[in-house]
Chains A and B, each alone.
Chain A
Amino acid sequence: MNHLIIAPLLIPLLIGIILLFIRNSIRVQKVLSIFSIIAMVIATFILLLSVLENGVQTYELGGWRPPFGIVLVADSLAVLLVLFTGLVALACFLFSVRGLDKDRKAYFFYPLLQFLITGVVGAFLTGDLFNLFVFFEVLLMSSYALIVLGGEKVQLQESLKYVLVNVISSALFVTAVAFLYSITGTLNMADLSQRVAEIEQPAIVTVIALLFLIVFGMKAAIFPLYFWLPGSYSAPPPVVSALFAGLLTKVGIYAIIRVFTIIFYHHPEITHQILGGLAAITMIAGVIGAVAYQNLHKILVYNVVAGVGYIIFGLSSFNEPGLFGGIFYLLHDMLIKAALFLLIGAIIVITKTTSMSKASGLMKQYPILGWSFLAAALSLAGVPPFSGFFGKLMLIQGGIIAEQYWTVAILLLSSLLVLYSVMRVFFLVILGEENIPPLEKRGNVKGLVYPSLILLGLSFIMGMGAEWLYPFVADATTTLLNPDIYIEAVLKE
């Protein structure tokens, strides 16, 4: 029995529980947290190598055979995402050591971080639709607590909206699962895929597919459903925003990719057409927000929305380069969004303001911070030596093969505007005349910049060493395009 598959899920869960016992000694909590995250990353890396070698692996919980029991499925896509989750969590943990106040740490920040990781990893690994719902709730509960932790007025305001929106979308999720269960009589994704293929996806199943699109679109912040995101992602402290931007919307995107490649892929002329349209509008809406705002948080938050559009576009073109680009961009986006949020967090610590026009000229006194922000900005826009380039290139290639020329044009234009929005921050805040608060009024940024340097380094390696990552992502793409590989691995017939 290969217990490695469940290790990335079990390690944070177990450590998170242990952390509840030692609430008073924050130092021990830190040591255990870092141990847990590193152990999880190592276990995932070994798992990734073994998945590449032996193909899709499954883990039957409780020893029950798949359509009847819950099964964890480790295919390349899931394991890659788990690995990057670990890396983002590592950087956010390192930032939190100095970048978070004592009160928040004493009120269960570290256990909540571990439970958030548990939920995200579980959602990536599970092969059962209802179990996916449960892990969504695990990560959402932790995120509710994280967003309100500290109890500032704006946090209370935004958490109310955030909880309300997510409770509604969770209720819709349960409804969608109930509809699908009443038609197919199963919840296991592989079994679902087979049964939907047998009845050739009648119109009612396509309707359910669109209901799932609404549910996951609300979690992933696709165009008409992204209204909750700008407020709730700018309310909590920078570490929490970085965790959210790096992980939470990505789980929604992953669920969309999973569901629309394995279960509902029989009528792409309806479902994927709609996905393509929504992706295009999401890109436009994202960059409009990114260009419009003067607030540092808001600029980044709308860039998160634009990023969601790119990845969904990769799915909607539904061919090999498109999906490959989508997955590659998804991985890149996790790293770079977390890095940008952490860098902006450090900038706000120095300048004590979120407004772009109030402070400028950080470069002279904080050169490392300045240059790494430039690197992150170029990577976000997709300039060659960094990781954003390769993903976008493949996305464009996939779009051209699928003959979606308009959306490709929108993607290129919105990339330009994304570059404009972050370079504006670079020129106005980092460069320019020195106009920052005097030294004694500034916050201390010691230890706040290097976590994002780690993420940027990884992004650089991803860009330069796309060759190394290629086999993993290509394997993930192959599994997505051939659901039979997944079904055979799970049901073993």
Chain B
Amino acid sequence: MRPNDVILKTATQLVTFIIIIFSIYVFLAGHHNPGGGFIGGLMTAAAFVLIGIAFDIKTIKRILPFDFKILTATGLLIAVLTGIGSFVFDSPFLSHTYDYFYLPLLGKTELATALLFDIGVYFVVIGVTLTIIYTIGEDN
């Protein structure tokens, strides 16, 4: 019998958003401060695991209605394609570059192609973590 965990569920609804926003902050901060795709991805996955603990695994599936294995593959593909992209500019595999852009709201912003690679890492980490949790959690 499941105990009445109203407090846990209510707290989760609030905390999850804070965790996800913080994980995205950490992910974007990775170029100049501690952080990056790996830790960002793990924290995002942790937020979904929290949902899984407070509610159940089916809820994660409802929020993210796609195959986590495909998410992993997408991440890998993004990372490899970032590397291959440098062939277009006749530089070696995985060459990266950066530049400054004036974006609305943000002003002068440094954008690096390394971020694209990191998005790949971010997806792979989320995908792998959730695949593991989901596979073990679903297995009876």
Q: Enumerate chain A interface residues (CB-CB to B < 8 A).
A: 1, 3, 6, 10, 13-14, 17-18, 20-21, 23, 59-63
Closest 9 CB pairs of A and B: A20-B73, A62-B94, A17-B76, A63-B95, A17-B77, A63-B92, A62-B95, A6-B93, A61-B94
Give the distance to chain A from B95, nearest Cβ to Cβ, in Å. Answer: 5
| In the complex with contacts A10-B84, A62-B96, A63-B95, A18-B90 CB distance below 8 A | no
Task: Please indicate the chain A residues that have their CB under 8 angstroms from the CB of B94 in the complex.
Answer: 61-62
User: Is B9 on the interface with A (CB-CB < 8 A)?
Assistant: no
Report which of A1, A14, A62 forms a contact with B84, defined as CB distance below 8 A. Answer: A14
Q: Are B80 and A61 in contact (CB under 8 A)?
A: no
Q: Are A18 and B92 in contact (CB under 8 A)?
A: no
Task: Please indicate the chain B residues that have their CB under 8 angstroms from the CB of A20 in the complex.
Answer: 69-70, 72-73, 76
Q: Are B92 and A60 in contact (CB under 8 A)?
A: yes
B91 to chain A: closest residue by CB: A63
Task: Please indicate the chain A residues that have their CB under 8 angstroms from the CB of B87 in the complex.
Answer: 3
Q: Name, among A13, A23, A62, the residue most crowded by chain B CB atoms within 10 Å (CB to CB).
A: A62
Q: Are A62 and B92 in contact (CB under 8 A)?
A: yes
Task: Please indicate the chain A residues that have their CB under 8 angstroms from the CB of B93 in the complex.
Answer: 3, 6, 10, 59, 61-62
Q: Are B70 and A21 in contact (CB under 8 A)?
A: yes
Task: Please indicate the chain A residues that have their CB under 8 angstroms from the CB of B76 in the complex.
Answer: 17, 20
Q: Are B77 and A61 in contact (CB under 8 A)?
A: no
Report the Cα distance A62→B69, complex, angstroms: 29
Q: Besides the contacts A3-B93, A10-B84, A20-B69, what 18 more A-B pairs have beta carbons closer than 8 Å?
A: A1-B90, A6-B93, A17-B73, A17-B76, A17-B77, A20-B72, A20-B73, A21-B70, A59-B93, A60-B92, A61-B93, A61-B94, A62-B94, A62-B95, A62-B96, A63-B91, A63-B92, A63-B95
Q: Are B70 and A1 in contact (CB under 8 A)?
A: no
B74 to chain A: closest residue by CB: A21
| Number of A-B residue pairs with CB-CB distance less than 8 Å in the complex they form | 41
Task: Please indicate the chain A residues that have their CB under 8 angstroms from the CB of B96 in the complex.
Answer: 62
Task: Please indicate the chain A residues that have their CB under 8 angstroms from the CB of B70 in the complex.
Answer: 20-21
Report the Cα distance A3→B94, complex, angstroms: 12
Report which of B80, B90, B91, B92 forms a contact with A17, defined as CB distance below 8 A. Answer: B80
30 sampled A-B residue pairs with Cβ under 8 A: A1-B90, A1-B91, A3-B87, A3-B93, A6-B92, A10-B80, A10-B93, A13-B80, A14-B84, A17-B73, A17-B76, A17-B77, A17-B80, A20-B69, A20-B70, A20-B76, A21-B73, A23-B69, A59-B92, A59-B93, A61-B92, A61-B93, A61-B94, A62-B92, A62-B93, A62-B94, A62-B95, A62-B96, A63-B92, A63-B95
Task: Please indicate the chain B residues that have their CB under 8 angstroms from the CB of A17 in the complex.
Answer: 73, 76-77, 80
Give the distance to chain A from B77, nearest Cβ to Cβ, in Å. Answer: 5
